[in-house]
Amino acid sequence: MSTTIDYYELLECERTADAGTIKSSYRKLAMKYHPDKNAGCKDSEAKFKAVSEAYDCLKDPQKRAAYDRFGHAAFQNGGGAGPQDFGGFSDIFESVFGEFMGGRQQGGRHQRRGADLRYDMEITLEEAYHGKQSDITVDISVACDTCHGSGAKPGTHAHSCKTCAGHGKVRAQQGFFVVERACPACHGSGEVIDTPCSDCRGEGRVEQTKTLSVNVPPGVDEGTRVRLSGEGEAGARGAPPGDLYIFLHVKRHNLFEREGTTLFARAPISFTTASLGGTMSIPGLDGRAHEIRIPPGIQSGKQLRQRGAGMPVLQGRGHGDLVIQIDVETPTKLSTRQRELLELFRETETGEECPQSQGFFSRLKNAFAGE
């Protein structure tokens, strides 16, 4: 691909784009046209090379300033270390793809961080409300005590890999590209152990059962993650460990349902209570009984709200609300006396007691009368 194409156009960015936008666009395009994803496609290889050259120029403030002023001429005829200088391509590849290729460089060698681990914990809604301190037992790899994580037998040491000169990677020329791969001799570590530790077999880590304390804060919800930094899998040969993530799962409650910090409950009441009004007592998760006043004439589906009786705000102040949905229950078993009283009540009905029913039947009558 011709290097005369505008670098900003290649990276699909405006000339005013900041460094973060340029890097993000390059990441997307480099992943799209990478030779590993487009094997044998010459156009993709050329496109990948071109966007890499463009990014190598624009990521450097001095090169970018020169390019903005003079264009491609800034790097011609000895005008500086231009975009085709592959000495900088390794840095680009490492910074952009390092996280996908198993670690970052530290001190010239790859430090392959230990894997992050997941643990699923089930808690009750009450525990989600109040929070809890809990101990869990996990089987994970930890740094070997015998060799202190080095992987070498005590009294011996690892030495720099001769194949890669301790860099952990080797380069190979493939057409237009310089491809870097993990060193096959040391597998990217940059070091070779002649006499491995007998306990960890040169890995620098061993399997162990650990008991860890987990602090579940008040207000957690389904899917909340609690991170235990450095409690994941140990890295090989002294590399830093990963993290342990506790995924919380809240058991279904027999009374309350939850939506954010709001608690919902359904309360069936008799039709006499619905007609005359009254009160009900709801036991809250806070351990207190909440008196709910029922206004006379309440209908099914009406919601009554108790402020501040819901779930606590996670890592904040205050509580959500408790919402009671009323379900008016029609009696199915009546004594003779109750039936007599209801018959007397029906005889005194004028229709004004239930305006919605009166309105419905009036509309129904008008409809059949053709009005």
Put residue 201 in one of left, alpha, beta given phi > 0 → left and psi -120 to 50 → alpha: left
Residue that is written with structure tokens 């009558």 in the block: 365
Distance in angstroms (rounded) separating the CA atoms of residues 120 and 130:
19
CA 361, distance to chain mean position in Å, is: 55
Distance in angstroms (rounded) separating the CA atoms of residues 237 and 190:
11
Residue 57, annotated as binding a ligand:
no
104, 315, 318, 348 from 99: Cα distances, Å: 7, 31, 40, 80
Phi, then psi, of 253 in degrees rounded to 5: -95, 145
Residue 41, annotated as binding a ligand:
no
Q: Six-digit token pair at 301?
A: 């589906």
CA 24, distance to chain mean position in Å, is: 20
Residue 183, annotated as binding a ligand:
yes
Q: Mark out the alpha helices in 217-286 (DSSP H runs).
A: 271-276
Q: How large is the angle between the packed helices 61-70 and 42-58, nearest 10 degrees?
A: 100
Stretch (H or E) spanning 340:
helix 336-348
Distance in angstroms (rounded) separating the CA atoms of residues 307 and 319:
8
Residue 164, annotated as binding a ligand:
yes
Residue 186, annotated as binding a ligand:
yes
Task: Give the list of residues 6+ apart from residue 236 with CB closer than 8 angstroms, or none.
Answer: 112, 114, 151, 189, 203, 204, 205
Q: Mark out the alpha helices in 176-307 (DSSP H runs).
A: 271-276
Express the helix, strand and coil content of the chain in percent, nearest 5 each.
30, 30, 45
Distance in angstroms (rounded) separating the CA atoms of residues 57 and 305:
62
Burial class of residue 359, CB neighbours in 10 A (0-12, 13-18, 19+): exposed
Residue type, 124: T
Residue 161, annotated as binding a ligand:
yes
Q: Mark out the alpha helices in 135-252 (DSSP H runs).
A: none
Binding-site entries for Zn(2+): 144, 147, 161, 164, 183, 186, 197, 200
Residues that constitute the known binding site = 144, 147, 161, 164, 183, 186, 197, 200
